[in-house]
Amino acid sequence: MNQDKINLLKNYISANVAPILIDFVSDIHLSNSISIPANCDESDFNGHFLGKEFLPPKWYYELIHKKDTKVIVINNIDSISKEEQLKFKELLKYKQVATFKIPEKTRIILTAKKVNKNTINEEIYSLVAHI
C-alpha cells in the first residue's frame, strides 16, 4: 500500500468530515469496526418487523453499544450493481438507516477494488471522499 494514501486515510478518519471511499484495499477490518458486506440483503441492512414493531438491523445494536470510536466499513461496494449501491444512500447522506440515527461521530468507510464510472453509482460517489 502507498504510505501517502495510508496517511491520508488516517487524516480523513480523524477529521470525520465525510464517508470515505478507498480503492487501495478491497476488504478492510479495522479493530472494533462493524463490517457490512456490500452484497448484504437490504432487509438485513435496513431493519425488520417483529410483530408490529420495527427493529434496527443487528449490527446497529453492536454499533450503539461500542464505547470506543465507532466505525462502519462497507466492504466491496463495487461488487454490486450501481442501482443496488443506492441502498447505502441514506446512511451516507443522512447518517441513518430507516428511522434509526447512527451515533454522532461514527466514521463510515467504503472499500472497492476498482473505482470508475462503470463501478460506482454517481450519487453514491458524490457523497464520499475518495482516497
Rg (CA), the chain: 14
* pLDDT score of 29: 60
DSSP letter for 118, please.
T
Query: What architecture does CATH give domain 3-130?
Result: 3-Layer(aba) Sandwich (3.40)
The per-residue pLDDT for range 37-63, each reduced to its tens digit, is 999 988 788 888 888 998 899 999 999
Q: Tell me the C-alpha distance between 104 and 46, whole Å.
A: 18
* pLDDT score of 131: 85
* pLDDT score of 87: 95
Is residue 1 predicted with pLDDT exceeding 60?
Answer: no
Q: What mean pLDDT do residues 94-121 have?
A: 92
Q: Tell me the C-alpha distance between 18 and 127, whole Å.
A: 7
Pick 2 or 98 by higher pLDDT. Answer: 98
Nearest CA-CA partner of 111 in 19, 44, 40: 19
The domain limits of the chain are 3-130
In the structure, what pLDDT confidence band is assigned to residue 26 with cuts at 50, 70 and 90? Answer: low
Q: For the chain, what is the mean pLDDT? A: 87
* pLDDT score of 75: 92
Lowest-pLDDT range, 7-16, 21-30, 50-59, 81-90?
A: 21-30
Cα 43 versus chain centre, distance: 16
* pLDDT score of 68: 83
Q: Which helix (H) or strand (E) holds 71?
A: strand 71-75
Is residue 67 predicted with pLDDT exceeding 60?
Answer: yes
* pLDDT score of 120: 96
